[in-house]
Amino acid sequence: GLDRLSKIAGPIALAVAVILYGPIHLPEPLSTQLDFSIGFSALCIGFGALLTRVVLSTPGSLLGRVLSWRALVTLGTYSYAMYLVHVPLLRVVSKVAVPPQWAGSQRWPLLWVFGYTTVMTVLTLAAAMVSWHLCEKHLLALKRHFPYGAREQHAAYDRAA
């Protein structure tokens, strides 16, 4: 069922991504049209297949062991804060430092994509770590004041009445 479908969908989505973003240059506007149609669809299907594989994996499996790597666990810890800070950070960097597209990006596009993405990822992770340690960690600690079992007890009482 779902396990078999995810094993098929993932490689197909990866093949589509290699074709769209690989070494073959597609002319505009075809490139943009394919990105916004097939590209985003393949991205959704690929990550959906990956999520399915993760949910169905066992802790001792290869995927379970890979997802236990310290770097991935760190990203998981700070991922929500990264989500919150990445757009404001992109705007600040593009205004203050270097915009996403400039003359150098035309001369060395692949180097620019990887370099800019790497720098922005490191900056985003750093800002997220600061945000997490200053705010989110302390807000998460408040969970101890809100017992989770209380709802279940009230629901059982309501059913009995």
pLDDT in tens, 62-120: 988 998 899 999 999 999 999 999 999 999 988 887 776 677 677 777 787 888 889 99
- Whole-number pLDDT of residue 114: 87
| CA distances to 59, 73, 90, 124 from 78, in Å | 22, 9, 17, 10
Range 36-61 average pLDDT: 87
How far is Cα 6 from Cα 10, in angstroms, rounded to an integer?
6
How far is Cα 56 from Cα 64, in angstroms, rounded to an integer?
10
Question: How many other C-beta atoms can be found within 10 angstroms of the C-beta atom of residue 129?
Answer: 16
Confidence tier at 141 by pLDDT (50, 70, 90) = very high
Tallying the residues shown for the chain, one arrives at 161
- Whole-number pLDDT of residue 152: 58
